[in-house]
Amino acid sequence: MELFYSQLLDLFTAAGAVVLLNIILIDIVMSGDNAILIGMATRKLQGKERKQAIFFGIALATVLRIVLAFFAVFLLSLVGVKFAGGLLLLYVVWKFYRELRMSNSEEHHIDAKKAGLMAAIWTIIIADFSMSLDNVLAVAGAAHENVAALGIGLVFSIALMAFASNLIAKYLDAYPQIQWVGLFVILFVAVEMILSGTHEIDTKFLHFNILPFVLFVLGGLFVVLHAKYIRPADEKKLALYLQNHTLSILSVGIALLFGVLFFGDSIAIFVRSHLPVFYSILFILFFGLLEVVSLVKLRRKNKT
């Protein structure tokens, strides 16, 4: 206890204040992804249920973070932990994608079978666990064994995530189109973890590149899941959506065209040199191709 009070008093010195500031800055930067994820998980809940899901989800995820803080170095030394975390997060991406592609009637059917509150809490726990490995290690390193600074940083990150995730959930509920941006952020983190994990397995265990095999398996799995669970888009609804959002689509198209014309080479170099960005875009194009194929199949089926 005396050591804790001593470390608490150290925070009022210049060196201690710098340590605490570093921890807070790390939490601000690294908790953004978690806040987006919690906002995505609770976007369909309203009022009291949303607050309960955020509270219990963050509380249980915090318990896991504390456990991770004790075993972070050991866990991250295990070959394949990051890869497994990335796959777990990719499952969350698929879950969100499937929900976004569902019609209202399908959503009500799913909600009747599942408790929305419990499903949201469970999603938060799974995803926060997989996303918190690097976060915990970074904060633990910045704390320099100062338990008081670590505790204050943890409390700050909890408050930050609770506030930010509730705000994000409100915007996602009011503007559903933003949900796709949130989905991309989570996909990017998942891809980053998978790439880092496969590189770790390559160099420390198998000594050959397994990434093509992993991509082939994941691609085949998503083809099967897409064919089984995702219904083709309704062409009438799609046409109506395009009609109602013509201005937004044109604005985005003009912005993309402007970017390609004036910054095409720089964008290409950036994408090629940042593999997580490249593979995230590859995933999006792959899912877009699956959507087009399913729509063509439906059209041929209706003609026959």
pLDDT at residue 206, as a whole number: 77
80 phi-psi bin (left φ>0, alpha ψ -120 to 50, beta other): left
pLDDT at residue 110, as a whole number: 46
Q: How far apart are CA 77 and CA 204, in angstroms?
A: 11
pLDDT at residue 103, as a whole number: 52
Query: Taking a C-beta distance cutoff of 8 angstroms, is the pair 120, 53 a contact?
Result: yes
- Assign 3-state DSSP to the chain and report helix, strand, coil percentages, each to 5: 90, 0, 10
pLDDT at residue 105, as a whole number: 43
pLDDT at residue 38, as a whole number: 82
pLDDT at residue 283, as a whole number: 92
Give me the residue spans of the domains in the chain. Answer: 2-209
Query: Taking a C-beta distance cutoff of 8 angstroms, is the pair 146, 19 a contact?
Result: yes
Residues of the chain short of pLDDT 50, as ranges, are: 104-114
Q: Which of 42, 128, 120, 28 is nearest to 85 (CA)?
A: 128
Query: Taking a C-beta distance cutoff of 8 angstroms, is the pair 165, 39 a contact?
Result: yes
Write out pLDDT tens, residues 214-234.
Answer: 999 999 999 999 988 888 877
301, two tokens: 């089926």
Q: How far apart are CA 165 and CA 234, in angstroms?
A: 32
| pTM of structure | 0.76
pLDDT at residue 141, as a whole number: 58
pLDDT at residue 112, as a whole number: 40
Cβ neighbours for 160, distance < 8 A, ≥ 6 positions apart:
27, 28, 31, 35
pLDDT at residue 27, as a whole number: 66
